[in-house]
Structure 1
Amino acid sequence: MMIVREAIEQDLEILLEFEQGIVSSERPFNETLKEGEIHYYDLHALILSPNTHLVVVEENNEIIASGYALIKQSEKDYNSFKEYGYLGFMFVKPEHRGKGVNQLIVDALIAWVKDKGISEIRLDVYDQNESAVKAYEKAGFEPLLLTMRLKA
């Protein structure tokens, strides 16, 4: 049986491994990432932050997945919302993919954001990452903006 629980400081070692898994999976979609080990997140700070809900999924006492929801302030005065939930750090160990684990995480994070009284929820995904795009669309997300780049 899988359980979703809040991450604790003792989970940092596996969470750092998950972070490198995310980096590795994103490298084919982003040639601008530096070589070697890089870090997207301050995981310790995310665990301790009252504005973040960092969760893990456990199965048979093994942590198999992670994700977070972060309350962010809108940077645009013209938005109809002042703050929104931002989802990130979504990772499922490869051998557990396709079992609905990501949906468990997304559902838990959306529930946490809604409990905070926030109705706008966003995330970023590489448009070429078709499996991730499909998973988020299945969870109810829809494309909003595509960032384009030019290497000059």
Structure 2
Amino acid sequence: MPVIIRPATRDDLPTLLRFEQGIISAERPYDALLKPDPISYYNIGEMIDAPDAIVMVAEIDGELVASGYAKKRRSRHYTSPDWHAFLGFMFVAPDHRGKGLNRLIVEALTGWARDQGLTEIRLTVYPGNDPALRAYEKQGFQPYLTEMRLGLEDD
């Protein structure tokens, strides 16, 4: 089955909204701070239209099976480079996992980032999400910064 990697269109939104809920469901075990459903992480339609972002999808036999986005972001004022591509919305349909689709999406997003003149890509992964960590490390990503939190309970 040939895989087509292409930019998403607004016609893809119904499937992409389902993908987003799949991401949220998968990440709930790692994040006790997520509000109860229904929630949304992204304005996917806005990202599809944005000049500083791209949403890519993988299609097999006319069916969308994976997604991801890259967005141009300003880096912290005290770090280099000044701008980087931030990846998110990484999803592969359960029946298509293990086929290298995430890698193909990341390659397409990397190409977009290069075309934008960006020299670095960043993304976030929940601690404990070992399959995601391994997948990104296999593609050359390295841990950079760990964000920590302390909840303050009402007394």
TM-score tier after normalising by the smaller chain length = over 0.9
Q: Secondary structure at the match of 1:56?
A: strand
Supply the AA of the counterpart residue of 2:140: G
Aligned length: 151
| Partner in structure 2 of residue 93 of structure 1 | 93
Normalised to the residue count of structure 2, the TM-score between the two structures is 0.95
Supply the AA of the counterpart residue of 2:105: I
| Partner in structure 1 of residue 10 of structure 2 | 9
Q: How far did residue 139 of structure 1 move?
A: 0.8
1:47-66 equivalence runs, <5 A: 47-66=48-67
| Partner in structure 2 of residue 110 of structure 1 | 110
Q: Deviations over 1:75-111 (max 9, x none)?
A: x221121111000000000110011010000011011
**Unmatched runs of 5 consecutive residues or more in structure 1:** none
Aligned partners of 2:150, 2:129: CA distance in 1, in Å?
A: 19
Q: How far did residue 151 of structure 1 move?
A: 2.1
1:27-38 equivalence runs, <5 A: 27-38=28-39
**Unmatched runs of 5 consecutive residues or more in structure 2:** none
Q: Deviations over 1:109-131 (max 9, x none)?
A: 01110111111110001121000
Aligned partners of 2:145, 2:82: CA distance in 1, in Å?
A: 19
Supply the AA of the counterpart residue of 1:25: A
Q: Secondary structure at the match of 1:149?
A: coil
What RMSD over aligned residues (CA atoms) do the two structures have, in Å? 0.8
Q: How far did residue 146 of structure 1 move?
A: 1.1
1:14-29 equivalence runs, <5 A: 14-29=15-30
